[in-house]
């Protein structure tokens, strides 16, 4: 197990290196001069002024040097400054990150609460109306675009009741109802998408486990359905589901992008979209790097927890 953990930790390093090179390289490939695109004043700046701005921003150095400078700052926890506002990106992310993480956590809780009973019920009552309804709900969850549901959820209440989500983040302790309204709907939409994927996998794993010999033995011993399903079947069926949950949660970080835009939630997703539209490339670079690091660490934790949940992995 220790060798497994060490191997996974070592494999993380090249992965993060690739991520950093891809992000850095891609944003340096943006066509046209970043300064000109940023300032939009190419015709009114003389070459000396342009050169001074580039030197100030470190853009006159060779690309490998720029990359090493950026990495050295990154390793010290310094994500740089916004090209537009000059504000520290660390400070910006500190303001926006809680919104995104709250949305992801709420979405995960809602998604898990929906997927577990639905997945178990559709497996237990396989090929019945419960199974068909459950599968229809699940496949709808992965087919219907969440941005469509979110759009309808924002606009119809505005039309019918004159109610719309607040534009600024509502603090829970100041206005619990307003906070729940602001986060509840996007979290529900996010959670529903997660539940759909989880439920399909849980149904498949439950069906496989229910076909196993030890389940037949448990029934032959005279154990009731509830004991068989909960104590024997679910525990084993959950192992792949939990590993999927870990990677799905990491992907939810990217899934919040559209919902934050539609619900005007001040999160990292909206921050990234705004930065793309305003061509604030240092912010885009930093945000994507932070999201990718979170994803890599979450995948690592999931891989390590897989060894803890499944003793066969631990003792292999």
In the complex, which residues of this chain contact another protein (CB under 8 A)? 11, 14-19, 21-23, 26-27, 29-31, 139-140, 142-145, 147-149, 151-152, 154-156, 158-159, 250-251, 253-255, 257-258, 261-262, 272-273, 276-277, 281, 284, 288, 291-292, 295-296, 299
Q: Which two tokens stand for residue 277?
A: 């539209």
Report whether 290 contacts 181 (CB < 8 A).
Answer: no
In the complex with another protein, which residue's Cβ is closer, 15 or 45? 15
In the complex with another protein, which residue's Cβ is closer, 29 or 75? 29
Report whether 28 contacts 63 (CB < 8 A).
Answer: yes
Q: Which two tokens stand for residue 106?
A: 């709420």
Q: How far is the CB of 277 from another protein (least distance, A)?
A: 8
Q: How far is the CB of 174 from another protein (least distance, A)?
A: 29
- For 235-238, the CB contacts below 8 A with 24+ separation are 236/205, 236/209, 236/212, 237/123, 237/202, 237/205, 237/206, 237/208, 237/209, 238/202, 238/205, 238/309
Q: How far is the CB of 145 from another protein (least distance, A)?
A: 5
In the complex with another protein, which residue's Cβ is closer, 160 or 173? 160
SS3 250: helix
In the complex with another protein, which residue's Cβ is closer, 5 or 21? 21
SS3 31: coil
In the complex with another protein, which residue's Cβ is closer, 236 or 299? 299
Q: How far is the CB of 173 from another protein (least distance, A)?
A: 30
Bridge partners, residue 81, by sequence: 88
118: CB partners within 8 A, 6+ apart: 134, 137, 138, 195, 199
SS3 114: helix
Q: How far is CA 45 from the centre of its chain?
A: 41
In the complex with another protein, which residue's Cβ is closer, 30 or 52? 30
In angstroms, the CA 81 to CA 100 distance is 21
Q: How far is the CB of 156 from another protein (least distance, A)?
A: 8
Unique residue bearing structure tokens 């899934």: 255
- Residue 83 is given by DSSP the state T
Q: How far is the CB of 292 from another protein (least distance, A)?
A: 5
Q: How far is the CB of 259 from another protein (least distance, A)?
A: 11
Give the chain's end-to-end CA distance (angstroms, integer): 8
In the complex with another protein, which residue's Cβ is closer, 46 or 277? 277
- Residue 37 is given by DSSP the state H
């Amino acid at each position: 197990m220790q060798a497994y953990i060490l191997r996974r930790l070592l494999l993380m390093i090249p992965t993060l290196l690739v991520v950093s090179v891809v992000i850095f390289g891609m944003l340096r490939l943006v066509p046209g001069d970043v300064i000109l695109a940023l300032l939009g004043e190419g015709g009114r700046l003389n070459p000396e002024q342009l050169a001074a701005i580039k030197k100030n921003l470190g853009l006159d150095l060779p690309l490998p040097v720029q990359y090493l400078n950026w990495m050295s700052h990154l390793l010290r926890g310094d994500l740089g400054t916004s090209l537009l506002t000059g504000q520290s990106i660390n400070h910006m992310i500190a303001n926006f990150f809680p919104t995104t993480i709250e949305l992801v956590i709420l979405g995960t809780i809602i998604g898990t609460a929906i997927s577990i009973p639905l997945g178990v019920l559709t497996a237990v009552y396989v090929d019945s109306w419960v199974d068909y309804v459950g599968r229809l709900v699940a496949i709808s969850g992965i087919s219907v675009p969440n941005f469509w549901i979110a759009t309808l959820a924002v606009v119809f209440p505005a039309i019918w009741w004159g109610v719309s989500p607040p534009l600024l983040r509502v603090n829970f302790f100041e206005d619990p109802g307003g906070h729940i309204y602001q986060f509840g709907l996007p979290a529900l939409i996010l959670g529903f998408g997660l539940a759909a994927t989880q439920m399909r996998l849980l149904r498949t794993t439950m069906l496989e486990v229910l076909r196993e010999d030890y389940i037949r033995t448990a029934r032959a011993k005279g154990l009731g359905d509830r004991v068989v399903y909960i104590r024997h079947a679910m525990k084993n069926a959950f192992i792949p589901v939990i590993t999927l949950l870990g990677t799905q949660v990491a992907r939810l970080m990217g899934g919040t992008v559209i919902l934050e835009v539609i619900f005007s939630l001040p999160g990292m997703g909206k921050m990234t979209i705004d930065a793309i539209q305003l061509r604030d490339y240092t912010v885009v670079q930093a945000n994507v790097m932070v999201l990718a690091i979170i994803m890599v660490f979450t995948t690592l934790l999931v891989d390590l927890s897989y060894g803890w949940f499944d003793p066969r992995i631990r003792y292999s």
